[in-house]
Amino acid sequence: MESMEVDENIPQLYQRTPEDVKAIVKHAKLDERQLTQLTQALYFPSADVESENLRLLELDGHMLEQIRDGQTLHFKGGQNEKVVLCTDERTYDVKGAEISNSLLLVPNLKFAAATSTSPLKSPRTGNANASLERSLNDSTEDELEVPRTLEQRSVLKVFHEYFECREIKPRFRKLGELLQLTRYSGPENEFCIERKLLFSLTQLLDTVQCSRAQFMDGLRQYRAMQLDGHMRVMEYEYEYRTISLMLGLISENSWALDEVEREETISALIGIAPEAVVSGLFDIYTIPSERCPDKFQYQESLVARIVAQNILQPGLRFRNEEFMRTWQEALPEGMTCQLSYLRGLGICDKEGAQPCIRSLSEEQLPTSINDRMRALFKTKQKWTLDEMEPYMECFTTPTLSVSTLLAKHARSLTEGGVRYYVSKH
């Protein structure tokens, strides 16, 4: 017995029949008894089928897990930006790639196990009917008529390319640039701010090319806070003055470093700085005390960095001992300055007759890797890997390390058992 299922979406041109299938099987010199009883005939889409909005996207394990968990993937990119794909946690670069063969998208296509109605062919029976199947195969064509069902399937689209994704570092630079447009320097200067350049958290999240989790990390890195519904960063001198006042309360109240009181700090600065600013800076610069419940302590690294930034004015050079002494004296008693706190903020230059420390902010360097390499080697001729890392990490990926980038964009040499990187040209 033979049957044929008709797909109404297929244009009524010539359609395959069960007799056509038998003839094709015979011409291909196949044994029909070795095939399942269901044949699916594919028909290419007609001109009126809308499929231009369909794209083929390659997923890694993380993206597939996000989709299965009901999460949303977001494409992000401005008019002059390369598009990226973001999950809630990761960011991917997206590029088009060609497919050597054509891939067909066929809705409702059945796979092997679903095309057999015979218990002999069903994967659930295993080898239980192996002897019966052998006897069936030994039968002649006249002794056994294989029933065949023919179903029609419409090809929705033929793909010749797909989007491949490569995990990359979050692109925070735009976040910093947008926040710098409206730096907060006190309520008396708010009349200078263009209101159209103020952005809410949601607006920035939709614009900046990174995942939500990475975006929140970026806000913490730029020390951004929400004021009157908009995300703002402090003008540096204003932030330094406010933090200095807040730190001064430690000695005034004879607090231990891990006994700082939040409400007392905020109330002490009423009339000097807006409450929202003080509470925002307090939440950024402090962490809960491990020893004293409901008390806080300032993060030494953040305090040390803003103090160092105040000392390392652009264009100034300091002898190592002089800088470290000045830096230490400016910190609250009990805090210690460390060269590691200058990461991405300043460098130790040992090339001159007198080693010195000077400012070099990663945020101010070019975003192009070639331009950045030129700027770095113009600043200093020889760099170690540890010195280069804070200025090159933004170009790395999970499979592309800083050392790999330097092997391509710089030359290496060894002096006194230490490897240095120098300009390639």
Q: Among 391, 405, 406, 395, which residue's Cα sits nearest to residue 170?
A: 395
Q: How many domains does the chain have?
A: 2
- Where is the domain boundary, 197, 213, 233? 233
Q: What is the mean pLDDT of residues 14-32?
A: 87
- Do both 30 and 161 map to the same domain? yes
Q: How far apart are CA 345 and CA 369, in angstroms?
A: 18
Q: Report if residue 412 sits inside a domain.
A: no
- Do both 78 and 125 map to the same domain? yes
Q: What is the pLDDT of residues 232-262, one digit of tens each?
A: 999 999 999 999 999 999 999 999 999 999 9
Query: Could you tell me the pLDDT band of residue 2, with boundaries at 50, 70 and 90?
Result: low
Q: How far apart are CA 206 and CA 76, in angstroms?
A: 7
Q: Report if residue 288 sits inside a domain.
A: no
- Do both 159 and 57 map to the same domain? yes
- Where is the domain boundary, 182, 205, 233? 233
What SS3 class is residue 275? helix
In a 10 Å sphere around its CB, with 0-12 CB exposed, 13-18 middle and 19+ buried, how is residue 70 labelled? exposed
Q: Among 215, 218, 179, 184, which residue's Cα sits nearest to residue 86?
A: 215
- Do both 212 and 75 map to the same domain? no
Q: What is the pLDDT of residues 376-391, one digit of tens each?
A: 999 999 999 999 999 9
- Do both 44 and 186 map to the same domain? no
- Do both 81 and 21 map to the same domain? yes
- Do both 195 and 154 map to the same domain? no
Q: Report if residue 28 sits inside a domain.
A: yes
- Where is the domain boundary, 178, 206, 233? 233
- Do both 173 and 156 map to the same domain? no
Residue 11, pLDDT score: 53
- Do both 83 and 162 map to the same domain? yes
Q: Report if residue 196 sits inside a domain.
A: yes
Query: Could you tell me the pLDDT band of residue 6, with boundaries at 50, 70 and 90?
Result: low
pLDDT at residue 5 greater than cutoff 80:
no
pLDDT at residue 278 greater than cutoff 50:
yes
- Do both 190 and 215 map to the same domain? yes
Query: Could you tell me the pLDDT band of residue 129, with boundaries at 50, 70 and 90?
Result: very low
Q: Report if residue 112 sits inside a domain.
A: yes
Q: How far apart are CA 253 and CA 296, in angstroms?
A: 14
- Do both 76 and 104 map to the same domain? yes
Q: Report if residue 1 sits inside a domain.
A: no
Residue range(s) defining the domain that contains residue 24: 16-129+147-166
Residues near 140 by beta carbon (within 8 Å), at least 6 away in sequence: none
Q: What is the pLDDT of residues 43-81, one digit of tens each?
A: 887 777 777 888 999 999 999 999 999 999 999 988 888
Residue 131, pLDDT score: 45
Q: Report if residue 314 sits inside a domain.
A: no
Q: What is the mean pLDDT of residues 342-362?
A: 88
Residue 9, pLDDT score: 56
Query: Could you tell me the pLDDT band of residue 216, with boundaries at 50, 70 and 90?
Result: very high
pLDDT at residue 127 greater than cutoff 70:
no
Q: What is the mean pLDDT of residues 307-323?
A: 91
**10 touches 43 (CB < 8 A):** yes
**262 touches 296 (CB < 8 A):** yes
Instruction: Work out whether the CA dihedral 348, 353, 354, 359 comes out positive or negative.
Output: negative
- Do both 26 and 97 map to the same domain? yes
Q: What is the mean pLDDT of residues 399-418?
A: 92
Q: Report if residue 395 sits inside a domain.
A: no
